[in-house]
Amino acid sequence: MDIKQVVVTGKNEVELQHLSLTDEVGPEEVLIDTEYTFISAGTELANYTAKDVKVFEPGHWHSYPWKSGYANVGIVRKVGDNVKRLKAGQRVYTFGPHASTIIVSQQQLIIEVPADINPAIAASSRMAGVAATSIILSDVPHNAWVAVFGLGMVGNLAAQMFRNLGCKVIGVEPNEQRRQLAKACGLDITIGGSNEEVQEQIRALTGGKLAHITVDAVGHSSVVMQALQATASLGQLVLLGSPRVPVEGNLTELLSDIHLRWITMRGGLEWFLPVYSEVSTAVSLYSKQELVFDWIRQGKLALEPQISHYVSPSQIKEAYDGLLYEPHTYTGVVLDWTK
Protein backbone atom coordinates (compact mmCIF):
# COMPACT_ATOMS: atom_id res chain seq x y z
CA MET A 1 0.00 0.00 0.00
CA ASP A 2 1.29 3.46 -0.94
CA ILE A 3 1.21 6.11 1.78
CA LYS A 4 2.43 9.65 2.26
CA GLN A 5 4.66 10.42 5.25
CA VAL A 6 6.55 13.41 6.60
CA VAL A 7 10.30 12.76 6.83
CA VAL A 8 12.95 15.08 8.25
CA THR A 9 15.90 14.26 6.01
CA GLY A 10 18.50 16.62 7.49
CA LYS A 11 19.01 19.87 9.35
CA ASN A 12 16.22 22.27 8.28
CA GLU A 13 15.17 19.76 5.62
CA VAL A 14 11.74 18.12 5.59
CA GLU A 15 9.56 16.65 2.87
CA LEU A 16 6.41 14.66 2.26
CA GLN A 17 7.54 11.32 0.85
CA HIS A 18 5.68 8.51 -0.93
CA LEU A 19 6.42 5.28 0.95
CA SER A 20 5.11 1.73 1.12
CA LEU A 21 3.26 0.18 4.06
CA THR A 22 1.82 -3.30 4.36
CA ASP A 23 -1.95 -3.46 4.74
CA GLU A 24 -1.63 -6.60 6.85
CA VAL A 25 -1.64 -6.29 10.64
CA GLY A 26 -0.04 -8.50 13.25
CA PRO A 27 -2.09 -9.99 16.10
CA GLU A 28 -1.35 -7.00 18.39
CA GLU A 29 -1.58 -4.28 15.73
CA VAL A 30 -4.11 -1.72 14.54
CA LEU A 31 -4.25 -0.16 11.05
CA ILE A 32 -5.42 3.46 11.10
CA ASP A 33 -6.23 5.90 8.28
CA THR A 34 -5.13 9.33 9.48
CA GLU A 35 -7.49 12.32 9.50
CA TYR A 36 -5.45 14.94 11.37
CA THR A 37 -2.04 15.29 12.96
CA PHE A 38 -0.62 18.15 15.04
CA ILE A 39 2.90 19.55 14.95
CA SER A 40 4.84 19.75 18.22
CA ALA A 41 6.69 23.06 18.02
CA GLY A 42 9.06 21.89 20.76
CA THR A 43 10.28 18.38 20.02
CA GLU A 44 9.79 18.43 16.26
CA LEU A 45 11.48 21.77 15.67
CA ALA A 46 14.33 20.85 18.02
CA ASN A 47 15.06 17.79 15.90
CA TYR A 48 14.39 19.63 12.62
CA THR A 49 17.01 22.24 13.56
CA ALA A 50 19.45 19.65 15.01
CA LYS A 51 19.60 21.17 18.49
CA ASP A 52 20.46 17.63 19.61
CA VAL A 53 23.55 16.52 17.67
CA LYS A 54 22.48 12.90 18.08
CA VAL A 55 20.20 13.38 15.08
CA PHE A 56 23.34 12.87 13.00
CA GLU A 57 24.20 9.57 14.73
CA PRO A 58 22.48 6.42 13.40
CA GLY A 59 20.40 4.39 15.83
CA HIS A 60 18.79 7.10 17.93
CA TRP A 61 15.01 7.53 18.03
CA HIS A 62 15.26 10.83 16.14
CA SER A 63 18.22 10.13 13.83
CA TYR A 64 17.97 11.44 10.29
CA PRO A 65 16.04 10.48 8.25
CA TRP A 66 13.39 10.90 10.97
CA LYS A 67 9.70 10.15 10.49
CA SER A 68 8.37 12.96 12.63
CA GLY A 69 5.14 13.53 14.50
CA TYR A 70 3.45 12.07 17.58
CA ALA A 71 -0.10 13.44 17.59
CA ASN A 72 -2.43 11.49 15.31
CA VAL A 73 -6.21 11.09 15.05
CA GLY A 74 -7.71 8.69 12.53
CA ILE A 75 -10.17 5.90 11.76
CA VAL A 76 -9.44 2.26 12.60
CA ARG A 77 -9.56 0.09 9.47
CA LYS A 78 -8.19 -3.25 10.67
CA VAL A 79 -7.36 -4.84 14.01
CA GLY A 80 -5.24 -7.87 14.84
CA ASP A 81 -6.67 -11.07 16.27
CA ASN A 82 -5.58 -10.27 19.83
CA VAL A 83 -6.97 -6.71 19.82
CA LYS A 84 -10.23 -6.79 21.81
CA ARG A 85 -10.92 -3.23 22.93
CA LEU A 86 -10.88 -1.64 19.46
CA LYS A 87 -12.86 -2.25 16.29
CA ALA A 88 -12.97 -1.04 12.70
CA GLY A 89 -14.72 2.29 12.26
CA GLN A 90 -13.67 3.81 15.60
CA ARG A 91 -12.01 7.22 15.64
CA VAL A 92 -8.91 7.02 17.81
CA TYR A 93 -6.11 9.19 19.13
CA THR A 94 -2.56 7.84 19.13
CA PHE A 95 1.03 9.03 19.34
CA GLY A 96 1.36 8.12 15.66
CA PRO A 97 3.51 10.05 13.16
CA HIS A 98 2.57 12.42 10.35
CA ALA A 99 1.48 9.83 7.79
CA SER A 100 -1.64 9.10 5.77
CA THR A 101 -1.90 5.55 7.18
CA ILE A 102 -0.18 4.09 10.23
CA ILE A 103 0.12 0.78 12.03
CA VAL A 104 0.20 0.97 15.84
CA SER A 105 0.71 -1.76 18.42
CA GLN A 106 -2.02 -1.96 21.04
CA GLN A 107 0.78 -1.80 23.63
CA GLN A 108 1.14 1.85 22.61
CA LEU A 109 -1.39 4.50 23.52
CA ILE A 110 -4.65 4.15 21.56
CA ILE A 111 -7.75 5.83 22.96
CA GLU A 112 -11.13 6.44 21.38
CA VAL A 113 -11.98 10.07 20.61
CA PRO A 114 -15.34 11.08 22.12
CA ALA A 115 -17.94 11.71 19.43
CA ASP A 116 -18.55 15.28 20.57
CA ILE A 117 -14.91 16.38 20.17
CA ASN A 118 -13.75 17.79 16.83
CA PRO A 119 -11.06 15.36 15.57
CA ALA A 120 -8.71 18.22 14.67
CA ILE A 121 -9.02 19.55 18.23
CA ALA A 122 -8.43 16.02 19.52
CA ALA A 123 -5.15 15.88 17.58
CA SER A 124 -4.09 19.27 18.96
CA SER A 125 -4.83 18.02 22.48
CA ARG A 126 -1.45 16.29 22.31
CA MET A 127 0.06 19.46 23.74
CA ALA A 128 -2.44 19.35 26.61
CA GLY A 129 -1.20 15.86 27.36
CA VAL A 130 2.34 17.22 27.62
CA ALA A 131 1.15 20.06 29.86
CA ALA A 132 -0.82 17.76 32.16
CA THR A 133 2.29 16.23 33.72
CA SER A 134 2.84 19.55 35.52
CA ILE A 135 -0.34 19.10 37.57
CA ILE A 136 0.08 15.34 37.98
CA LEU A 137 3.46 15.55 39.70
CA SER A 138 2.81 18.72 41.72
CA ASP A 139 1.55 18.78 45.30
CA VAL A 140 -0.98 21.57 44.88
CA PRO A 141 -1.78 23.47 48.10
CA HIS A 142 -5.19 25.03 48.65
CA ASN A 143 -5.56 28.42 46.94
CA ALA A 144 -2.00 28.20 45.62
CA TRP A 145 -0.18 30.82 43.59
CA VAL A 146 1.31 29.29 40.44
CA ALA A 147 3.65 31.08 38.02
CA VAL A 148 4.04 29.53 34.57
CA PHE A 149 7.07 30.79 32.66
CA GLY A 150 6.44 30.65 28.91
CA LEU A 151 3.00 30.89 27.30
CA GLY A 152 3.56 28.90 24.17
CA MET A 153 0.90 26.24 23.68
CA VAL A 154 2.22 23.89 26.38
CA GLY A 155 2.65 26.67 28.95
CA ASN A 156 -0.73 28.17 28.08
CA LEU A 157 -2.43 24.82 28.61
CA ALA A 158 -0.51 24.10 31.82
CA ALA A 159 -1.68 27.45 33.17
CA GLN A 160 -5.28 26.61 32.22
CA MET A 161 -4.98 23.29 34.04
CA PHE A 162 -3.70 24.82 37.26
CA ARG A 163 -6.57 27.32 37.01
CA ASN A 164 -8.97 24.37 36.71
CA LEU A 165 -7.59 23.11 40.02
CA GLY A 166 -8.50 26.40 41.71
CA CYS A 167 -5.04 27.95 41.68
CA LYS A 168 -4.27 31.63 41.22
CA VAL A 169 -2.18 31.55 38.06
CA ILE A 170 0.37 34.07 36.79
CA GLY A 171 1.43 33.63 33.16
CA VAL A 172 4.93 34.97 32.48
CA GLU A 173 5.68 35.72 28.83
CA PRO A 174 7.83 38.43 27.19
CA ASN A 175 5.73 38.49 24.01
CA GLU A 176 2.59 40.64 24.11
CA GLN A 177 0.78 38.59 21.44
CA ARG A 178 1.15 35.42 23.46
CA ARG A 179 -0.04 37.22 26.57
CA GLN A 180 -3.14 38.40 24.71
CA LEU A 181 -3.76 34.88 23.38
CA ALA A 182 -3.49 33.54 26.94
CA LYS A 183 -6.09 36.07 28.08
CA ALA A 184 -8.36 34.94 25.22
CA CYS A 185 -7.99 31.43 26.67
CA GLY A 186 -9.22 32.59 30.08
CA LEU A 187 -5.98 33.41 31.89
CA ASP A 188 -6.59 36.66 33.76
CA ILE A 189 -3.06 37.46 34.98
CA THR A 190 -0.24 37.67 32.44
CA ILE A 191 2.96 39.65 32.91
CA GLY A 192 6.12 40.44 30.98
CA GLY A 193 9.21 42.62 31.00
CA SER A 194 12.77 42.15 32.21
CA ASN A 195 13.53 39.51 34.83
CA GLU A 196 13.73 42.23 37.49
CA GLU A 197 10.34 43.60 36.44
CA VAL A 198 8.81 40.13 36.39
CA GLN A 199 10.13 39.28 39.86
CA GLU A 200 8.78 42.56 41.25
CA GLN A 201 5.35 41.95 39.68
CA ILE A 202 5.20 38.45 41.15
CA ARG A 203 6.12 39.77 44.60
CA ALA A 204 3.42 42.42 44.33
CA LEU A 205 0.74 40.01 43.11
CA THR A 206 1.46 37.44 45.82
CA GLY A 207 1.86 39.94 48.64
CA GLY A 208 5.55 39.12 48.90
CA LYS A 209 4.96 35.38 49.36
CA LEU A 210 6.08 34.40 45.82
CA ALA A 211 4.60 31.39 43.99
CA HIS A 212 3.95 28.08 45.72
CA ILE A 213 4.60 26.37 42.37
CA THR A 214 6.59 27.65 39.40
CA VAL A 215 6.71 25.96 36.01
CA ASP A 216 9.38 26.28 33.33
CA ALA A 217 7.40 25.63 30.13
CA VAL A 218 10.18 26.94 27.89
CA GLY A 219 12.84 24.28 28.26
CA HIS A 220 15.69 26.75 28.76
CA SER A 221 18.05 26.62 31.72
CA SER A 222 18.19 30.40 32.14
CA VAL A 223 14.40 30.42 32.54
CA VAL A 224 14.74 27.83 35.31
CA MET A 225 16.87 30.31 37.25
CA GLN A 226 14.21 32.99 36.77
CA ALA A 227 11.51 30.59 37.95
CA LEU A 228 13.60 29.67 41.00
CA GLN A 229 13.75 33.31 42.06
CA ALA A 230 9.95 33.45 41.92
CA THR A 231 9.46 30.24 43.95
CA ALA A 232 8.40 30.57 47.56
CA SER A 233 10.38 28.87 50.30
CA LEU A 234 9.15 25.25 50.69
CA GLY A 235 7.75 25.59 47.15
CA GLN A 236 8.06 23.51 44.02
CA LEU A 237 9.74 24.18 40.67
CA VAL A 238 8.54 22.02 37.77
CA LEU A 239 10.69 21.43 34.69
CA LEU A 240 7.97 20.92 32.08
CA GLY A 241 10.08 21.90 29.07
CA SER A 242 13.04 19.75 28.03
CA PRO A 243 16.31 21.72 28.40
CA ARG A 244 18.23 21.35 25.14
CA VAL A 245 20.54 24.36 24.78
CA PRO A 246 23.79 24.64 26.80
CA VAL A 247 23.77 27.58 29.21
CA GLU A 248 26.77 28.78 31.23
CA GLY A 249 26.11 29.79 34.80
CA ASN A 250 26.89 29.32 38.47
CA LEU A 251 25.50 25.92 39.48
CA THR A 252 26.12 26.69 43.15
CA GLU A 253 23.70 29.61 42.94
CA LEU A 254 20.97 27.20 41.82
CA LEU A 255 21.73 24.45 44.32
CA SER A 256 22.30 26.80 47.23
CA ASP A 257 18.91 28.45 46.80
CA ILE A 258 17.19 25.05 46.58
CA HIS A 259 19.07 23.87 49.66
CA LEU A 260 18.57 26.95 51.82
CA ARG A 261 14.90 27.48 51.04
CA TRP A 262 13.78 23.82 50.97
CA ILE A 263 12.60 24.02 47.38
CA THR A 264 11.68 20.86 45.51
CA MET A 265 12.63 20.69 41.83
CA ARG A 266 10.63 18.16 39.81
CA GLY A 267 11.26 16.81 36.32
CA GLY A 268 8.13 16.67 34.18
CA LEU A 269 8.83 14.44 31.17
CA GLU A 270 5.59 12.60 30.45
CA TRP A 271 7.25 9.45 29.08
CA PHE A 272 8.07 8.40 32.65
CA LEU A 273 4.41 7.41 33.04
CA PRO A 274 3.23 3.92 32.04
CA VAL A 275 1.04 3.76 28.94
CA TYR A 276 -1.73 1.86 30.75
CA SER A 277 -2.31 0.83 34.35
CA GLU A 278 -4.31 -2.09 35.71
CA VAL A 279 -4.95 -0.04 38.87
CA SER A 280 -7.74 2.48 38.30
CA THR A 281 -6.27 5.00 40.74
CA ALA A 282 -2.80 4.95 39.17
CA VAL A 283 -1.88 7.66 36.67
CA SER A 284 -0.95 6.59 33.14
CA LEU A 285 -0.69 8.15 29.71
CA TYR A 286 -4.16 6.72 29.05
CA SER A 287 -5.77 8.22 32.17
CA LYS A 288 -4.03 11.52 31.49
CA GLN A 289 -5.59 11.68 28.03
CA GLU A 290 -8.98 10.79 29.47
CA LEU A 291 -8.68 13.84 31.75
CA VAL A 292 -7.73 16.04 28.79
CA PHE A 293 -10.75 14.86 26.78
CA ASP A 294 -13.05 15.38 29.79
CA TRP A 295 -11.87 18.97 30.24
CA ILE A 296 -12.28 19.70 26.53
CA ARG A 297 -15.85 18.38 26.62
CA GLN A 298 -16.58 20.50 29.70
CA GLY A 299 -15.25 23.64 28.05
CA LYS A 300 -12.37 23.88 30.54
CA LEU A 301 -9.51 23.80 28.03
CA ALA A 302 -9.28 26.42 25.29
CA LEU A 303 -7.41 24.78 22.40
CA GLU A 304 -9.09 26.19 19.32
CA PRO A 305 -7.89 29.81 19.80
CA GLN A 306 -4.32 28.52 19.74
CA ILE A 307 -4.62 26.79 16.36
CA SER A 308 -3.52 29.36 13.80
CA HIS A 309 -3.17 27.18 10.70
CA TYR A 310 -4.82 24.16 9.09
CA VAL A 311 -2.59 23.07 6.22
CA SER A 312 -2.12 20.26 3.75
CA PRO A 313 0.67 17.77 4.54
CA SER A 314 2.35 18.93 1.32
CA GLN A 315 2.93 22.27 3.08
CA ILE A 316 5.01 20.70 5.86
CA LYS A 317 8.14 22.74 5.04
CA GLU A 318 6.12 25.96 5.15
CA ALA A 319 4.54 24.87 8.44
CA TYR A 320 7.87 23.98 10.12
CA ASP A 321 9.52 27.21 9.00
CA GLY A 322 6.49 29.24 10.05
CA LEU A 323 6.61 27.74 13.55
CA LEU A 324 10.37 28.28 13.65
CA TYR A 325 10.69 31.81 12.27
CA GLU A 326 7.22 33.29 12.91
CA PRO A 327 6.18 31.69 16.22
CA HIS A 328 3.84 34.52 17.16
CA THR A 329 1.90 34.06 13.91
CA TYR A 330 2.15 30.27 13.72
CA THR A 331 0.88 29.44 17.20
CA GLY A 332 -0.38 25.95 16.36
CA VAL A 333 -0.51 23.94 13.13
CA VAL A 334 -2.82 21.06 12.22
CA LEU A 335 -2.06 18.87 9.19
CA ASP A 336 -5.29 17.90 7.42
CA TRP A 337 -5.02 14.47 5.77
CA THR A 338 -8.71 14.25 4.79
CA LYS A 339 -8.48 16.10 1.48
Domains by residue range for the chain, with CATH: 2-113+308-336 (3.90.180.10), 133-271 (3.40.50.720)
pLDDT in tens, the chain (339 residues): 999 999 999 999 999 999 999 999 999 999 999 999 999 999 999 999 999 889 999 999 999 999 999 999 999 999 999 999 999 999 999 999 999 999 999 999 999 999 999 999 999 999 999 999 999 999 999 999 999 999 999 999 999 999 999 999 999 999 999 999 999 999 999 999 999 999 999 999 999 999 999 999 999 999 999 999 999 999 999 999 988 888 888 899 999 999 999 999 999 999 999 999 988 888 999 999 999 999 999 999 999 999 999 999 999 999 999 999 999 999 999 999 998
Q: What is the C-alpha R_g of the chain?
A: 20
As a three-state string, the secondary structure of 263-325 is CEEEECCHHHCCCCCCCCCCCCHHHHHHHHHHHHHCCCCCCHHHCCEEECHHHHHHHHHHHHH
Q: Quick check: helix, strand or coil at residue 91?
A: strand
Q: How far apart are CA 132 and CA 268, in angstroms?
A: 9
